[in-house]
Amino acid sequence: MHILGVTSCPDGLSGIYNLSIDAINYMEGDSAQRRVVIYTLTDVFYMPGSIKFWQTALNNSGYAFADIDRSTLINAANVRLLDSDKKEAYFDYEVKKQSQKCGIAWHKYKAHELFIKTFNPDVVVI
């Protein structure tokens, strides 16, 4: 299990926490602040660097993070459901109003569906 050093507040005042990479659902790049915003099922964390740097580092460490749009990476292992009509990925098997989701760029959807299914054969496509 790999971990990342993250902070729970954007300015770093909360100190550094260890976060398991397996807990990350998706990450968004915040280029204006030169940081990455990390989303788990329950929390939001922050880490310095660019989204491209972290995609390269994570994927070269054996993880499967796909760039579903210009500034968002999704952890293929944590996707539970893909909505092929809306082009969205969910991290629950049942879609609810409060379900965490990520939109996938329409022109990249088929390639990302194949990528996610390759690393996560249990994903459900509706």
Predicted local distance difference test score (pLDDT) of residue 55: 93
Predicted local distance difference test score (pLDDT) of residue 31: 83
For residue range 71-113, what is the model confidence (pLDDT) as tens digits? 999 999 999 999 999 999 999 888 888 889 999 998 989 999 9
CATH classification at residue 58: 2.40.50.1020
Predicted local distance difference test score (pLDDT) of residue 33: 86
Number of domains in the chain: 1
Domain of residue 120 covers 3-125
pLDDT at 1 over 80: no
Query: Sheet containing 35-39: which strands, arranged edge to edge?
Result: 44-48, 35-39, 26-30, 72-75, 65-69
Mean pLDDT of 48-56: 93
**pLDDT above 90 covers what percent of the chain?**
74
- pTM, two decimals, is 0.88
Residue 87 — φ and ψ, nearest 5°? 60, 55
DSSP 15: -
